[in-house]
Structure 1
Amino acid sequence: MEDGLASSVNRMADALSMHELRTLHFLCSDLLPNTCVEDLRGALISLAQAAGNSHSTRMILTELMFHLKRFDILKKVLGTSRQEVESMLESRQVLSRYRVLMVDLSADLGKDELHSLVFLLSGRLPRVKLESASSFLDVVTELEKLDDVSPEKLDLIEQGFQDIHRVDLVRKIQMFQKKGTPRKHLDHNQETKRGVCSPTSPPPRLTVCPIVQTKGSSLASKGLKMSVAETGVHCQQAPEEYIMETIPRGVCIIIDCVGCDGDMLKQTFQHLGFKVILHTLLCLVDTHSVLRVLSRSPDLQKSSAFVCCLLSRGSETHILATESSGPGLSLVAVRQLFDAQSCPALKGKPKLFFVQIYAIQEAHVWSSQIDECLETDDWGPSGCSNWQTDAVKTIPVSADVLSCVCMTDAQLLDRRGHQSVYWEVMRSTLLRFHGRRIPLLDALTEVNRAVCEYSQRNANESYSISLSHTLRKTLYL
């Protein structure tokens, strides 16, 4: 039996692509802990041998090939058909229903949609992990390591599918949850002997409608699904949105510390209905002073929203203003100047921070006295602050914030007539979508797609965008 088993496993492994092997590894990860893809062949043989009898071995391999949709291998190697396996799975299933669902979702997710999802969903993952993610299962695996996704915790993924308007995938998750959270996976030998299996096969395909905290890398995404009505889908309740009825709609401050694009941004946000304040070439101390004074301005009380645009040399976390090195002002500190605690006039209102940072190679940036004198919230690994309660309503101190940061090389500033592609695309996208009832998150996903495509075409001009937000409602500009 063992020789026949090894032969079958080898024939299957030889017929599978690397992508299929990685999917198979994901399906088996509960049964084969601490096993890498390269060791999968031997681990599969060991797993099947541990089942204890040829029938259980056949069942494991058959189920794996079925969920990989390799019906040719079912027929040629295992001597069964798709219909026979479907019938078998109605009464007995070894693989985790949760893992089968993730594989099903991955198969239904297009490449462009994956890029959009990564951009919107991956705030908790390091950039190196995002850049190496080639499939939805790669993202799920990393989120599992952080305990952000599990059979019992699917809200993050569900919200991501809502944001890219994949109603059908949201429905699949909801159907999975409605059938009940699967029990913790038992030892395979116990399951085989007792005949205990997950009750059903994955739900059939069907055919929705912000995300608490997200951060993405600069992965290209084309052909994005925009926020349009889903034909034939009944929405029980329209999503709540921020009211933008004041005239002007809000205050927009632009601090241009590099001497380009400031005037263009001023015209853009004036066209969008904002009162615009433009400062150019401010030093670090003056930048902080201007922001602090504005955070106490009575104009904010009469505003529906607040926008802050920063253009500066610096690092991913700090701006240097007009300084070339030295202590910088952290972006977190800038946001905290306008949070609900420091700026009650903006409580419950959207606060948008658009930043272009020109990275200085080997710049020495450290926390300054400006940072240290600020009261700080705990923006832990998830990027969300602690919740604070008042007598009337519970709102997170750092709720209603969106931060979109673009990084590029400071050497671009040495080019004559330089203009940031990020700002050019931002301007054209916001003006094009203005008045069309398209959510800001959709607009920024489009910005990310266009900027990434530009970076791919122009290797000497690399731009990368990171997005994070705690918006609680839909925002239209």
Structure 2
Amino acid sequence: MAPVDQRHLQEINLIVESLGSCECKKLVYLCESFDSDSSAESVKDLLKSKVQEHGNAPQLFLTELTWRLGRFDIMKRVFKVSRNEVEQTLRCSQVLSRFRVLMTDLSEDLNKEDLEQIKFLLSNQLSREKMNTKSFLDVLIELERLDLVSPERVDIVEECFRDIGRVDLSKKVTAYKMSVETSEQPSSREQNRRAPVIRQGQPHHIARMSAPLPVSRLPSIGSPIERYRFNTNPRGLCVIIDCVGKDGVLLEQTFKALHFNVVLHRWLSADETLSALRSISLQRENHAGLGFVCCVISRGTVNQLLGTDAHGDGLPMNSIRRLFTADACPMLAGKPKLFFIQRYSIPELAQWAGHLETDGCDGLAVGNGIPTDADVFWSHCWTDEHQLVQEQHHSVYLKALTDALHKAQRRKTHLLDVHTEVNGAIFEHNKRNPGADYHMDVKHTLRKNLYLH
């Protein structure tokens, strides 16, 4: 390759020196690199290499990069072109990967909660390091490395957006996918000229078989959605751990009325909570029913529950779920696993930085290709712990939940509709009591409809 001329070297230096760290990370991604190093020198070296690759149009490559980053000030200062001029050029000629451009745009539309839900859905595919990332682009790079995502294979991304309720983003991915598939189809003249070809090697057709995903599937148009078989008596085990002495009995009465075998533990520490849950997860007789329910009421921080402990290591909430994945509990594979968490928030302090480890394993699939994290419904509510000092305190969330579950028993109501009622009750409470707000996080990987009637 010919060396980069002095003019382009100067342009590269001016671009990189004008960008922040987040913009450098996006630039590296747009350059189709898998490198996580977004330091200034590394980015400059990457741009030099890409400019050499685009020998016929290095100027277009660099101007499109700055345009995609929204740095129109750099375009005007370095390349002496306006935003409109570049837009007109890109209508006819685009050099950056359409796939990476789309993913970068989508990442801009995701908020922190969306990203956390996506990482939850993909927790079996992502390494522990990537589960801690704050960047959707890092998640995408990991999926590309695992050969689960590519410019021709975007099913995972499409379905993740759909499952977290971001239908607007899912539609953008669908439109891109359709354009890719259309561009791959031969013209009618070519079809008449050559023998038919069975296009069975397209990556997006084999993705579902090569690595089952922990996201719910939508049925084909016109076909009814399957429902979980969940109407036996008893339905399965419900374990309730009440570490604050409030509402455990209310939950016990509710799930007994719903025909669950109920085990209630009260006043457990974080370590005792983990021990009790681990013991339940290892006892095969506990999972002979058609599903499993776990309810925990505890003080805690954003990611950890403390039980009755005033200090020390907490129990990571994610560890609770991992104890009951399909590989940790094979008898629960394919069965709905419901988690209801009421957390009373305490301040984040340094002494709670540690955590308890569990034996949970994050394999890919068990049995008939069922993802280990499939069939999970996770409902987490939190409010300030100061409410516990009230003598007659009861959780608004748990009261709304039990009321809605009792109604669902009397009529054909989907579990998601049950939570719509809970959301409404919490919204009305927050409106009337601005100093006692409740917050909810609901996510799921259910593959079928779930009714509790």
Task: Indicate the TM-score class for this superposition, using the shorter chain for normalisation.
Answer: 0.5 to 0.7
2:342/2:381 contact within 8 Å kept: yes
- Structure 1 gap segments, 5+ residues each: 182-209, 215-226
Query: How much identity, in percent, do the aligned residues show?
Result: 29
Counterpart CA distance in 1 for 2:353 and 2:66 is: 54
Equivalent residue, structure 1, for 2:157 = 157
**TM-score of the pair, normalised by structure 1:** 0.56
Q: 1:212 aligns with which of 211, 214, 235?
A: 214
1:32/1:43 contact within 8 Å kept: no
> 1:351-390, CA deviations, whole angstroms, 9 ceiling, x for partnerless residues?
222233557863698769xx7xxxx55x2xxxx346455x
Q: 1:400 aligns with which of 370, 375, 385?
A: 375
Equivalent residue, structure 2, for 1:351 = 337
Q: In the alignment, does 2:280 pair up with 1:265?
A: no
Aligned ranges 1:4-19 → 2 under 5 Å: none
Q: 2:90 aligns with which of 71, 85, 90?
A: 85
**TM-score of the pair, normalised by structure 2:** 0.58
> 1:227-259, CA deviations, whole angstroms, 9 ceiling, x for partnerless residues?
9x9xxx982544433233346755534332311
Q: In the alignment, does 2:292 pair up with 1:306?
A: yes
Counterpart CA distance in 2 for 1:367 and 1:105 is: 35
> 1:90-115, CA deviations, whole angstroms, 9 ceiling, x for partnerless residues?
xxx432232123134446x4x6xx45
2:341/2:379 contact within 8 Å kept: yes
Q: Number of residues paired by the alignment?
A: 398
Give the SS at the match of 2:138: helix
> 1:248-287, CA deviations, whole angstroms, 9 ceiling, x for partnerless residues?
755534332311122443465578x444736363556997
Change (3 A) 1:84 1:387: closer
2:381/2:441 contact within 8 Å kept: yes
Counterpart CA distance in 2 for 1:251 and 1:104 is: 44
> 1:56-90, CA deviations, whole angstroms, 9 ceiling, x for partnerless residues?
23321343366568899699448846444322x2x
Equivalent residue, structure 2, for 1:61 = 62
Counterpart CA distance in 2 for 1:460 and 1:237 is: 44
2:315/2:356 contact within 8 Å kept: yes
Q: In the alignment, does 2:96 pair up with 1:95?
A: yes
Aligned ranges 1:124-273 → 2 under 5 Å: 124=123, 133=134, 138-145=135-142, 147=145, 150-151=149-150, 154-163=154-163, 164=165, 166=167, 167-175=170-178, 178=181, 212=214, 235=221, 237-246=223-232, 251-266=237-252, 269=255, 273=258
Change (3 A) 1:116 1:157: farther
Change (3 A) 1:69 1:386: closer
Name the aligned partner's letter for residue 450 of structure 2.
Answer: L
The CA RMSD over aligned residues, in Å, is 6.2
> 1:122-145, CA deviations, whole angstroms, 9 ceiling, x for partnerless residues?
134799999995xxxx31234425
2:215/2:447 contact within 8 Å kept: no
2:244/2:297 contact within 8 Å kept: yes
Change (3 A) 1:36 1:154: farther
Which one has the bigger helix percentage? 2
1:252/1:274 contact within 8 Å kept: no
Question: How far off is 1:121 after superposition?
Answer: 0.7
Counterpart CA distance in 2 for 1:143 and 1:418 is: 44
2:31/2:50 contact within 8 Å kept: no
Higher relative contact order (CA 8 A, sep 6+): 1
Name the aligned partner's letter for residue 58 of structure 1.
Answer: Q
